[in-house]
Amino acid sequence: MSEPGGPIEIGPVIITDTNNPPPVILPPPPVGVPGGLGDRPPVWDANIPTSAQVEDFFNKKDIFALNKIQAVVLTVAAGQKNVEASYVAHLPNVPSEVDYEINSSVGTEVLSPLEKAIKEKAVVDQLITLKQSELGVSTVTANSYFGRNPLDKDADLNGVDFLIRFQDRKNPLSPLALYNEFISSVSAAYTSKILTEKIRLLTEKSTALTSSIATEQAAEDARLAAEAEAKRIADEAATAEAARVAAEAEAKRVADEAAAAEAARVAAEAEAEAEAQRVAAEAAEQARLAAEAEAARVAAEAAEQARLAAEAEAKRIADEAAAAEAARLAVEAEAKRVADEAAAVEAARIAAEAEAKRIADEAAAAEAARVAAEAAALKAAHTYRLPAAGATQLSTAAGPIAITSGSGITLDALIQAIKAVLGTIVSVPTAVGIGLLSYSSSLGNGELPATMLNLPAKGLAPDLPDNLLDLAAAGGTVNVPYRIYGDQSKYSVVATQATGGLAATVPVRALVLDPVANAYTFTTTDTPPITLTFPIAVPGNSTTATPAQPVETPVYTGITLTPIEVKAEPFPAASQLNIRDGIYVYPSDSGLPPIYAVFSSPYEGATTKGEHSGRMYNPDKAGGPTQDLDWTTASVTQEGIDLVKLHTGRFDPSDANVVMIDRLEKILTGELAITDVDKRFYTHEIRELERYRALGVADGVEPKDGGAIWNNTHAATLEDYKLKDGSDVFYTPEAIAAYNKQTYGE
């Protein structure tokens, strides 16, 4: 084995049953726990137990032997992938898990909308603090193993880094303990991702609750103000009623006093009359008459004064009663006005909420449609149609590629001739070119499609075993004497060797029938996935014993293949090639033979996959580091349109670009309203021009590098604006139709 800290040498190993790493067993999926607030959602337990097979594997006495190196790396990578699979399976449960935590803390107490919103926000903010604390702990645990986040590298690279520590004999831990610590680090990293998602959801919830509290507080303030106004009006009405009752009592008192005065007067008159009679009797008739006359005068004056006073008091009381009634009616009218205004405000609020919900629903539906369209476009851009049984074909996602007219040779004949040459050379790794790829000028801005070469599997390996379907079901491999390598400019047939050259191992995979699409398909695990499809046209009287017939597809004219001279060349770097090939097997009842397929990438030097774009590119040759840019604020100017024309003019004529530039000019004159597609096209072309200039590429010049500079600057610009790659991101349906007509004539 290598010295500790030295380079790790992993020779070519053909994996058999004895070298397969032990399986890692996933725990059963979590089950919801019933509760008073509905079933508790599943809780993710990242502590996946180590299987007995893995423990036995790492406890083997010869675990440090050279023949165990690859098995160690694969076992560690499989362990990380199983934790990732558990995380991916649980991720859809995170929103319901967050809701359950909130609801269980808020409880079922009956509260007003305002009280409930305030209590719920307090719970959400407490949960944010708690999750942030937990995130800090899980991040420390995740970074403790490698001194970095284990998810910064894929599982296979982490397996190699694990092997470096594993081979360090100074490490006091046992191999099994090292493995368990690694799995704990990976589990903590995925726990951090789940906690980060919970914090995001809780933060959105807190923001929404802040708005809800403000709305409910305003409604509560309006209700309290209305109650206060109603109380004031009622108090004024009660005061007026009390005044009316007091006035009536005062009128009664005055009337009673007048009656008493009248009674006293009558008594006084009677007494005076008696006295007068007595005096008259004693004095003279004249005195009696004078007394009677005087008494009559005084009584008449007193009676008149009492009558006038009673009438005046009665009028005053009546006036006060009328004023009190008018005040009561005014209070009732004001109370009705306030109630009507409150009802109108409530109706307006309900209507506004309904309109907001309608707009939100429409936006959600539009977003869902956009996401579905993007997914369909992405799948179509990475789907390759297979040819008829027994045929050899070079193709792109747009259709099969033609061989240069007049070449007088077929791919089948060319490959068989190459095999004859390679069969005579066995001492050194050797390759023979099949043909050179030529890209059409109609490809617009320089986008070069990936290609796929497929041929009958027996054309490369006549002695394939009969159990290919069983191997495919088990995810197995077979050894072949030849493999094909494709790059930016050509395809070559390479002879495999047991040692020192290109490995003979090729994966075997099964094509399955999709009854909905009426096609045999296989989808890879790449990102984005690549789909192989064999659409079939089944006659009305066909049976399972009749081989399926392919649906005809038009030839794609954007690329041609020119056969080259059959000449063997040494291939010293064959062992370092990353060949994406495989043997694909149809169901046994299809009547179709197995095929061999290999994919190529059209861009040389692409080392990094864009976080947002999903494109492979070289960030060191993209005209500078990625920036944080915003296309949504763009406004079209004449200077900007001139820059767009300058940059797109370096490429071959594109009808799609003509449509988009015409839109920009109409937007500038006010004939069209700008859309998001216009903004993205406009900002992207200008920013891409800046990157070309930063690389020293002169304006109007298209580098003859097979599109590498365009790919690097295009992908980096997508990263600047955080956009996913796709034609509908930058081109309207009319522009896409113009491109299709220019390219395919339809």
**What residue numbers bound the domain in which 404 lies?**
383-602
More confident residue, 181 or 13: 181
pLDDT of residue 341: 92
Query: Please, what is the average pLDDT of the chain?
Result: 81
Q: What residue type is 249 in one-letter code?
A: A
- Do both 345 and 430 map to the same domain? no
Q: Token pair for residue 17?
A: 């049953």
pLDDT at res. 262: 86
Average pLDDT of span 631-637: 96
Q: What phi and psi, each to the nearest 5 degrees, are found at residue 84?
A: -60, -40
Token digits of residue 258: 């007048």
As a whole number, mean pLDDT of residues 76-88 equals 94
Q: Is residue 316 part of a domain?
A: yes
Question: Are 218 and 249 in a shared domain?
Answer: no
Round to whole Å and give the CA distance between 743 and 731: 15
Give dist(CA 579, CA 174) in Å, integer: 36
β partners of residue 550:
536
The pLDDT score that the predictor gives to residue 30 is 47
The more confident residue out of 429 and 541 is 429
C-alpha 705/C-alpha 488 separation (Å) is 10
As a whole-number percent, the residues of the chain with pLDDT over 70 amount to 76
* Half-sphere exposure of residue 614: CA atoms within 13 angstroms, side-chain side: 13
Greater model confidence, 143 or 35: 143
Strand partners for 257: none
Residue 553 scores a pLDDT above 70: no
Q: Which of 46, 87, 76 is nearest to 178 (CA)?
A: 76
Residues 450 and 521 in one domain: yes
CA distance 207 to 695: 44
pLDDT reported for residue 306: 82
User: Which of the pair, 363 or 217, is modelled with greater confidence?
Assistant: 217
Q: Check whether residue 174 and residue 306 sit in a common domain.
A: no
Closest to 72 in 3D by CA, of 189, 141, 164 = 164
For residue 167, tell me if it sits in a domain: yes
Closest-CA residue to 236 (of 343, 326, 339): 326
Q: Is the pLDDT of residue 381 over 80?
A: no
Q: Is residue 687 scored above 80 in pLDDT?
A: yes
Most trustworthy range by pLDDT among 293-297, 460-464, 585-589, 720-724 = 720-724
Confidence of residue 398 (pLDDT cuts 50, 70, 90): low
Region 201-209: mean pLDDT is 95
Number of domains in the chain: 4
Nearest residue to 641 via CA among 671, 661, 669, 660: 661
Q: Is 294 contained in some domain?
A: yes
pLDDT tens for 216-241 read 899 889 989 999 998 999 899 888 88
Pairing verdict, β 556-563 and 399-403: parallel
Q: Lowest-confidence range among 112-116, 270-274, 621-625, 718-722? A: 270-274
Distance CA 139, CA 149 (A): 8
| Mean pLDDT of all residues in 19-47 | 57
Chain center to CA of 381:
21
Average pLDDT over residues 540-553: 48
Q: Could you tell me if residue 3 is left (phi over 0), alpha (psi between -120 and 50 degrees) or otherwise beta?
A: beta
Q: Which of 536, 570, 576, 571 is nearest to 553 (CA)?
A: 536
Q: For residues 619 and 530, state if they share a domain.
A: no
Cα distances (angstroms) measured from residue 311 to each of 215, 252, 297, 308, 316: 60, 13, 22, 5, 9
- pLDDT value of position 742: 84
Looking at the domain assignment, is residue 298 inside a domain?
A: yes
Category of 518 on φ-ψ map: left (φ > 0), alpha (ψ -120 to 50) or beta: left
Bridge pairing between strands 477-479 and 451-456: unpaired
* Cα distances (angstroms) measured from residue 128 to each of 134, 192, 206, 214, 527: 10, 14, 9, 21, 33
Q: What is the mean pLDDT of residues 516-542?
A: 70
Asked if 10 contacts 2 with a C-beta cutoff of 8 angstroms, the reply is: no
Residue 126: CB partners within 8 Å, gap ≥ 6? 105
The DSSP code for 536 is: B
Is the pLDDT reported for residue 476 higher than 90? yes
Q: Side by side, which strands form the sheet with 512-514?
A: 383-385, 531-535, 519-523, 512-514
Contact 582, 471 (CB under 8 A): no
Query: Could you tell me the pLDDT band of residue 726, with boundaries at 50, 70 and 90?
Result: confident
In a domain, residue 20? The reply is no
pLDDT at 382: 63
Q: Name the token pair of 249.
A: 């009592």
With bands split at pLDDT 50, 70 and 90, how would you rate the model's confidence at 162?
A: very high
Q: What is the DSSP string of 290-318?
A: HHHHHHHHHHHHHHHHHHHHHHHHHHHHH
Residue with tokens 């944080």: 628
At which of 548, 576, 602 does a domain end?
Answer: 602
In angstroms, the CA 463 to CA 594 distance is 12
DSSP state of 147: S
pLDDT band for position 431 (50/70/90)?
low
Q: Give the list of residues 6+ apart from residue 434 with CB closer than 8 angstroms, or none.
A: 411, 414, 415, 418, 453, 484, 490, 491, 492, 493, 561, 563, 564
**Tokens linked to 339:** 């109630």
**More confident call, 18 vs 629:** 629
Q: How far apart are CA 501 and CA 575, in angstroms?
A: 5
Q: Is residue 538 part of a domain?
A: yes
Same domain, 619 and 500: no
Q: 3-state DSSP: the chain helix, strand, coil percent, rounded to 5?
A: 55, 15, 35
Please check whether residue 532 is in contact with residue 511, taking contact to mean a CB–CB distance below 8 angstroms.
Answer: yes
| Same domain as 62, residue 194 | yes
Same domain membership, residue 321 and residue 458: no
Query: Distance between CA atoms of 305 and 535, rounded to whole angstroms?
Result: 121
**2 lies in some domain:** no
Q: What six digits make up the tokens of 445?
A: 């801005």
SS3 assignment for 689-742: HHHHHHCCCCCCCCCCCCCHHHHHHHHHHHHHCCCCCCHHHHCCHHHHHHHHHH
Q: Which of 379, 397, 432 is the C-terminal boundary of a domain?
A: 379
Q: Assess whether pLDDT exceeds 80 at residue 438.
A: no
H or E, element range at 371: helix 285-381
Examine the domain organization and report whether 103 and 208 are in the same domain. yes
Q: Which of 326, 357, 379 is the last residue of a domain?
A: 379
Kindly indicate the confidence band of residue 152, based on its pLDDT and cuts at 50, 70 and 90.
Answer: very high
Has residue 570 got a pLDDT over 60?
A: no
Q: How is residue 496 annotated by DSSP?
A: B
Same domain, 654 and 738: yes
Q: Do 185 and 281 share a structural domain?
A: no
Is the pLDDT higher at 390 or at 317? 317
- Distance between CA 556 and CA 296 in Å, rounded? 138
For 491, phi and psi rounded to 5 degrees? -115, 145
Within-domain flag for 7: no
Is residue 259 over pLDDT 50? Answer: yes
pLDDT band at 10 (very low <50, low <70, confident <90, very high): very low
- Is the predicted pLDDT of residue 627 greater than 90, yes or no? yes
**Measuring CA to CA, how many Å separate 230 from each of 198, 327, 342?**
47, 14, 12
Dist CA 100 CA 87 (whole Å)? 19
- Indicate whether 338 and 218 sit together in one domain: no
pTM for the predicted model, two decimal places? 0.39
